[in-house]
Amino acid sequence: MYFHVDLDAFFASAEELDHPEYRGRPIIVGAAPGRRGVVSTCSYAARGFGVHSAMPINEAYRLCPQGVFLPVRMERYLGLSRQVFDTFNNFTPDVYGVSIDEAFLDMRGTEALFGPAPEAAKKLKAAVRERTGLTISVGVAENKLLAKLASAKSKPDGLLVVELGTETAFMDSLPLTKLWGAGEATQARLRALNVRSVRELRECTLDFLQASLGQASGLFLYQASRGIDPGIHSEDTPTRSRSTERTFEYDVSNAESLCSVLLEMSEELMFSLFKEELYARTVCVKIRYGDFSTVSARVTLDHTVASIKELYAVGERLFREKRLAEAPVRLLGLGLSGLRADKVEQGELFPQGDGRAERLERAVFGLKKSGRAELKIARTLKPPQGENDDD
């Protein structure tokens, strides 16, 4: 028996908690209106105006100019999230966090302590509310897919149990558009196939779905329509990639400026790998142009990337090879994938340097971590506020 637990409009609720004067008003957490960015989370009052997550912030402003627009305060939300997860841990040792505001709880064997599932769920809701003042929605079912869909259906401040034997009926109660894993593209393809409900989806053969939508998607939808969990969240999967990207306030054409950003991102990524003692061989650069078209280039080395210096050199090469000359760039991203816990050394045939850069950078990282000094690569320093950088 799984619980899926989801905090209601988490970031917006957190702001409401800290600013009681905003209670009940349309709260929109995300980018600042007038700038490039999207809505991260909005309150139910804001949803009444048609605002929703991932909507461009300027569109949200147009729909709801009277809204309370607030920036994301991730530190604060992380603190609250920890308290909520602490509470989960008082109910079961088997808590699988999916994101900052969402978790699965394996509640098998807890009946003696907390009673049957509906009672346990009520106790959990009360405990979270008492500890943090936040409301959660809980879905209870025999598998994660059903539990997840149940909590979503029950929102906000909801509780929904999918009883054994009612799985198919529950699936049929959902609009096809609410099916987890079937986004905009799949919805359009299903419409083209004349499939308009979960029931109609279930009437399709596996062969038909796989021929129409691909092996994996076909099997996924075939199982999901029957209330079978295709494996929506496997436990304990190690991190496979790390990346960072920046969307610029205005498109940037100057290659030197773009390369400075690459260097900044190289530093950020390598420090994060140093910190977690991870290694990677594959470097990926992502470029989004002013027209939103997006390309990427990647390369897998025969050894793990050792230093900021090396990551930057590889990233810059990929960038210069891939970028259309002078085309304005809206977004630049850098990533590392194939993460692993062990190092792959340089081949002996073409050794690159003697590891000096790596030793230096790890020493700098050590200083930074201990709080004894903050060292930055000069080129990544920002010019002082109010001065232009013409010279």
Partner DNA sequence: TCTGGGGTCCTAGGACCC
Minimum CB separation from DNA for residue 327, in Å?
Answer: 14
DSSP 36-91: S-BEEEE-HHHHTTT--TTSBHHHHHHH-TTSEEE---HHHHHHHHHHHHHHHHTT
- Can you tell me which residue has the tokens 């900021």? 308
DSSP 160-174: EE--TT-HHHHHHTS
Look up residue 207 and give its amino acid: D
User: Which of 21, 184, 387, 389 is close enough to bind DNA by CB under 7 A?
Assistant: 184
Rounded distance, CA 337 to CA 18, Å? Answer: 38
In the complex with DNA, the residue whose CB is nearer, 161 or 287, is: 287
Rounded distance, CA 352 to CA 330, Å? Answer: 33
In the complex with DNA, the residue whose CB is nearer, 11 or 365, is: 11
Q: Which one of the spans 50-58, 192-200, 252-260, 361-369 is the region binding DNA (CB under 7 A)? A: 50-58
Ranges within 134-153 binding DNA (CB under 7 A): 148
Residue window 283-302: x/- pattern of binding to DNA, with contact defined by CB under 7 A = --------xx-xxxxxxx--
Catalytic residue among 15, 16, 102, 316: 102
User: Which of 215, 345, 356, 376 is close enough to bind DNA by CB under 7 A?
Assistant: 215
Active site residue 268: no
Strand partners, 95: 105
Q: Which one of the spans 124-132, 133-141, 245-253, 348-356 is the region binding DNA (CB under 7 A)? A: 245-253
Rounded distance, CA 321 to CA 126, Å? Answer: 57
User: Which of 109, 115, 116, 183 is close enough to bind DNA by CB under 7 A?
Assistant: 183
User: Which of 83, 89, 173, 243 is close enough to bind DNA by CB under 7 A?
Assistant: 243
- Can you tell me which residue has the tokens 């009437």? 203
Ranges within 351-390 binding DNA (CB under 7 A): none
Rounded distance, CA 124 to CA 140, Å? Answer: 12
Residues at the site binding DNA, with contacts judged by CB under 7 A: 31, 36-38, 40, 53-54, 56-59, 62, 98-102, 148, 180-187, 214-217, 234, 237, 239-247, 281-282, 291-292, 294-300, 330-331, 333, 335, 337-338
Which residues carry out catalysis? 102
